[in-house]
Amino acid sequence: MTIFQQIIDGNIPADKVFEDERAIAFRDIQPQAPIHILVIPKKPIVSLADASEEDRDLMGHLMLVAAQVARSEGIDEAGYRVVTNIGREGGQSVDHIHLHVLGGRQMGWPPG
C-alpha cells in the first residue's frame, strides 16, 4: 500500500487543503517551493501511464482541482507549475498518480 493510500484512508495525517468524493489535495511534506501541494485521486492509479479511457473525466477533474487550489493559495495571478512525474526516469517516488502544484517563486526551465 502506498503512503498516499494511507493518507486517503486517514491512517496517516496530511495537511489537506481540498477534498471531495474523487480527490484530495494536501501540502507536500518536503516542499520544493513556498507553495507545494499534491493533488491525488482517491482511485489508486499508479501513474498517468496507467490511466485508461474510463479515467478521462477523473484526469480532467484533477487538473481543475489543481487550478482551484492554486487560486485558493493566491498563486494564480503570478503563475505556477503543475507537473506529474511518471516512472523511474520521470522521477516518480510514490506509485499513486499525483499532480504537483508548485508556486510562490520563479520556476526554472528546463526542469531538473
Contact residues toward ligand 5GP (CB under 6 A) are 3, 14, 26-30, 38, 85, 91-94
Smallest distance from ligand 5GP to CB 52, Å = 20
CA–CA dist 35, 44 (Å, integer): 25
Catalytic residue flag (residue 36)? no
Smallest distance from ligand 5GP to CB 55, Å = 18
Q: Which three cell numbers stand for residue 83?
A: 507537473
Contacts of 1 (CB under 8 A, 6+ apart): none
User: What is the C-alpha radius of gyration for the chain, rounded to an integer number of angstroms?
Assistant: 13
Contacts of 54 (CB under 8 A, 6+ apart): none
Q: Which three cell numbers stand for residue 61?
A: 477533474
Smallest distance from ligand 5GP to CB 14, Å = 5
Q: Which is nearer to ligand 5GP, 10 or 54 (CB)?
A: 10
Q: Which is nearer to ligand 5GP, 28 or 76 (CB)?
A: 28
Catalytic residue among 36, 61, 96, 98: 98
Active site residues: 98
